[in-house]
Amino acid sequence: MSSRSDGGGDRDPVREFKDAVNMNPGELGRWLATDDSKSAGQHKGGGESVGHESGRRIIDLLRKRMNQFTERDMAHMRKVVGYVRRHMAQRPSGDVRNTRWRHSLMNWGHDPLKEPLPPPGGPSRKALQRHQDAERSSGRNRRR
């Protein structure tokens, strides 16, 4: 199984998934149990929304080891990344804290009020964090 996405060049779907999903399994599970989560998104015939169902699947993916991912898992990771990127591009103006837009994204594992989404194919969220930590640390050392 390849770790590269279809036609995406050097893009790694697992890394992009981990960058797009900024909620941990516990946070996402607690969120999915709320009424706001259950009412957000597109519902299939009055049942569970597509995003809510995806959120349950995301929790399972976050708990798997790298060597346990199937092709079906990889396909869902790419779907999550696509959804998050498309919807982040449609951010409404103003305070988004209690909007259906944010609630829908959170069902897909991304809270837009947390750290920003890294650009596709760029440094990972962890790499950006390490860089920021190093800059802060070197700044403290210079002040001493």
In whole angstroms, give the CA distance from residue 42 to residue 65.
30
Digitized pLDDT (tens) for each residue of the chain, 144 residues in all: 444 334 444 578 899 999 999 999 999 999 999 999 988 877 777 788 888 999 999 999 999 999 999 999 999 999 999 999 999 999 999 999 999 999 999 999 999 999 777 777 666 666 767 767 777 777 655 555
pTM: 0.77
Residue 22 pLDDT: 95
Helices within 41-92 (DSSP H only): 50-63, 71-88
Side-chain-side CA neighbours of residue 111 (13 Å): 14
Task: Give Cβ neighbours of residue 136 (< 8 Å, ≥ 6 apart).
Answer: none
Q: How confident is the model over 3-44, as pLDDT tens digits?
A: 433 444 457 889 999 999 999 999 999 999 999 998 887 777
DSSP string of 100-129, one letter each residue: HHHHHHHHTT--TTSSPPPPTTS--HHHHH
